[in-house]
Amino acid sequence: MDSRHKALRLLALATFSLSLFGCAAVPRAERDPRDPWQRVNRTTFKFDMGFEKHIAAPVATGYEDAVPHVVRLGISNFFDNLSYPAVIVNDLLQGQFKWFLKDTCRLVVNSTLGIGGLFNPASQIGLPPDDRDFGQTFGKWGIPPGPYLVLPILGPSDVRDAVGQAIDVFASPTHYTPNTLIWYTPDAVDTLNDDARLQPMLHLVMHAYNPYAFMRHAYLSQRHYMVHGPSRGNPAAEELKELQGAGK
């Protein structure tokens, strides 16, 4: 799954945190051992928020106004389906053979009955979506995440997941098309479609007491859960407790 889809889940988690504790919660101490590059990260985060506010958001709003919901849903389904070969590869790499069979069936059903992935009949017959990626696979293999990292335009990550995202690019079917325009156009349309869905949650994150701290929490918590499942050892869960206590 590409970084924009990942960002959608992260923003949803950040929004959930905001709804629990409100925007007045004071973030934990500025110095965080998971974020040794905080000064650079904050600069990049500020750039990303400016880009979203002044460029991505206006374009996404215009796109949402001009393109009917049913068309946007079809585009979303199409690109979700296009990402599934990489998901299936990661099923195998993680030894998730049950999900390998389910995801393969989902890809076949949506690519045929769903007319190239424009529709999503697989979910209606008990084949739910999955979102495994190479960063998650590296975590399952025991590779540590490394320092927290904010990437220009792409948003929150860490060293392990940044490498995984690069591999995700090469795993995309569009990467192997001979025409550069064909390669980049789907990514641009996919990004535009995701930005339209991101806007309501992005608005809440930007109005948090400390948007940077909330986004960092959202990313670390979500990725820890994807790799390890629910556990008391989740460092971001401890941050969430501190945020809750500070907001009382």
Choose among 210, 220, 234: nearest CA to 148. 220
DSSP percent split of the chain into helix, strand, coil, nearest 5 = 70, 5, 25
Give residue limits of the domains in the chain: 3-246
Which sign does the torsion angle of CA 71, 109, 87, 102 carry? Answer: positive
Choose among 175, 80, 173: nearest CA to 118. 80
Residue 229: what pLDDT? 81
Residue 246: what pLDDT? 41
Residue 90: what pLDDT? 96
pTM of the model: 0.78
SS3 155: strand
Mean pLDDT, the chain, rounded, equals 79
Residue 238: what pLDDT? 52
Taking the chain (248 residues) in consecutive chunks of 10 residues, what is each chunk's mean pLDDT? 53 53 47 89 94 85 86 88 92 96 97 96 94 94 96 92 89 68 59 67 74 87 86 53 42
Choose among 186, 156, 152, 181: nearest CA to 169. 186
Q: Which helix (H) or strand (E) holds 33?
A: none
Residue 59: what pLDDT? 84
Residue 92: what pLDDT? 97
CA dist 66 and 62 (Å) reads: 6
Question: What stretches of 22-114 show up as alpha helix (H) in DSSP?
Answer: 38-51, 57-66, 69-82, 84-93, 97-112
